[in-house]
Structure 1
């Protein structure tokens, strides 16, 4: 299986940082890195038809195992031809394990060495996630990348809790890997990413990173970051963790979606990231622009017939004015969420394209400095 496991080619390494460009080879096409992945919790990116995602030029989106497990269920999705047949998004899907949602949404949960028993936030019914059945569920989804079941501990927990979470996560990884290998032997082509944990304790982070690296998996996710810690702590522990991971694997940090965090992650050598923020902000009338975030609800846009971002070439900025977009938002028109989501996702995807060019041309650090200087000026 060693040849199959090599899914990542590094194209160019930047001078002065760990930033690099590359390509991840997946069953539903190549993914250019660094890459931002829109979140499609229920097999749909909110307010975004799949044609829009294709138009913007995304290679991969996310779906959520917890939500899809509860509704409509893995068997129905498998019957429909996996997530690709069900949603008609023909490029790649990454699915998370559902662990984070179990821990954050469930009214009642019990974590044991066997797995996690939890109560549905929808109807109160009880379910059990184990490392094995989470792999089986994501295999039914035909996920191109699936994640292991892990235990995520938040910012500020005691060391004892972090140690327990890491022990269970490591044990679950071995079981998940075994089940994934069985599914591969049965014809499943997707890959499994292990997850580094260890909370905000350097020795636990190192221990987890070295253990994960020793298993020679196709790629690696770094968990337990962006969980409420100050930005400086995020950057510190991200860089600390990366030094213990193999360079030739694609690296993924979950839950980051602002330019500042993305640029920090790229600088640290991260290849993949995702976040609900661009579309959530959009539904709340907040637009990304080169000069920072723009709140479309403000009265100063009533008579402004210019584009949201004069430097953006998306069809929203080419077509609609700040005045009109404000009107849509104030009237709670569905079109407001659609147009704002399109713009925000276009903005981030275009930013990643620029980042890739800057890395290839050995000017990433200058790009990062210039981008952030303008972004922090304010609209």
Structure 2
């Protein structure tokens, strides 16, 4: 089956229900992709994913290229084999990761030279190489290499990043068309950049629309800007992008950010937040965050969230036991809380879809805003 996005209900800038068809299955949207950056999730076993409702996963092409290498991934059955996952997979080109390593990377007009921290060798990560690596990894969806400018987001930095993103996008779109486009078995998404500047977001979105990508991503957000600034950037992007194409917000995954982005017309998400928070003893619940390091949980015999049906809560391990385990630097607490948090987010996405279908999204949005008020700044690495 080739790639196709079916918009079932909703508008350009409001909450939407959709269905993403890929060669490896169907994804009901809005949906959240767990992140296996280097081909394996941190803190969550692969056999937990399907039972909790995961439908699509993400990995990182640049990191897989560096280690273990494309040949090794191919020998293991491509990115699906590496992940031990038979459902849809999206690979990020690594633009954000490369540019975040500013101390070991050097930008040039044709790409970016980045030094492998492990070996010291230089890699010329170009749009063509990023595209070809993703063809070899064989995900269902590949991402273009874009220029994600680092903070501070000043206009003089963002304008050339948008121009470079569009130039690189055209180069990769042409390569994609030579392979037959989405009919080749792999879709290609463009990425909207523009920082916090509405006109640059709109300019980038219009430029990508002319290239007619299979879907569109919104990048360069959740990098430390205030929550409302981030949502303004999202809204200026979705208001410009075509309603019939899927919209993917990159690197965003807190409960509040998910609900607010869905309210602005976003269909797909990924983020390390739920598992990373779990590894640092922060649990997500209906009433907000639990910081399990706190002394008040020392003798708390309740599960992470009473009534939760995730494997961690059903295991009978108490908050007090988890706190003791974290203090002793045991591994099991990390796995248990990371697994619970991912279950919480996947369940939230189902609740969002159900709320859209039953016209009760406003009530869900209000509940999440109460439990997870905005912080001073938003960051995917919270």
TM-score (norm 1): 0.93
Instruction: Name which of structure 1's ranges 310-319 and 139-148 shifts more when overlaid on structure 2.
Output: 310-319
Q: Does residue 105 of the first structure (1) align with residue 92 of the second (2)?
A: no
Shift of 1:106: 5.4
Partner of 1:169: 165
CA distance in 2, matches of 1:38, 1:158: 31
Q: Does residue 29 of the first structure (1) align with residue 25 of the second (2)?
A: yes
Residue deviations 1:151-199, cap 9 Å, x none?
A: 0113433322211111111010011111122334798411110011122
The secondary structure found in structure 1 opposite 2:17 is strand
Counterpart among 248, 253, 258 of residue 262 in structure 1? 258
Decide whether the 8 Å contact of 1:105 with 1:121 is kept in 2.
no
| RMSD (Å), alpha carbons | 2.0
The secondary structure found in structure 2 opposite 1:220 is strand
CA gap 1:162/1:278 in 2 versus in 1, 3 angstroms: same
Decide whether the 8 Å contact of 1:9 with 1:22 is kept in 2.
yes
Please, which runs of 5 or more residues in structure 2 have no aligned partner? 374-382
CA gap 1:117/1:56 in 2 versus in 1, 3 angstroms: same
Instruction: Name which of structure 1's ranges 252-261 and 307-316 shifts more when overlaid on structure 2.
Output: 307-316
Q: How does 1:228-307 map to 2 (within 5 A)?
A: 228-307=224-303
Partner of 2:187: 191
CA distance in 1, matches of 2:185, 2:216: 17
Decide whether the 8 Å contact of 2:247 with 2:266 is kept in 1.
yes
TM-score (norm 2): 0.93
CA distance in 1, matches of 2:323, 2:104: 41
Counterpart among 316, 334, 344 of residue 331 in structure 2? 334
CA distance in 1, matches of 2:138, 2:85: 12
Decide whether the 8 Å contact of 1:99 with 1:150 is kept in 2.
yes
Shift of 1:217: 1.4
Partner of 1:45: 41
Q: How does 1:71-220 map to 2 (within 5 A)?
A: 71-105=67-101, 107-184=103-180, 188-220=184-216
Shift of 1:371: 3.0
CA distance in 1, matches of 2:63, 2:118: 9
Please, which runs of 5 or more residues in structure 1 have no aligned partner? none
CA distance in 1, matches of 2:371, 2:160: 44
Decide whether the 8 Å contact of 1:290 with 1:311 is kept in 2.
no
Shift of 1:294: 0.4
- Residue correspondences, number: 373
CA distance in 2, matches of 1:134, 1:282: 31
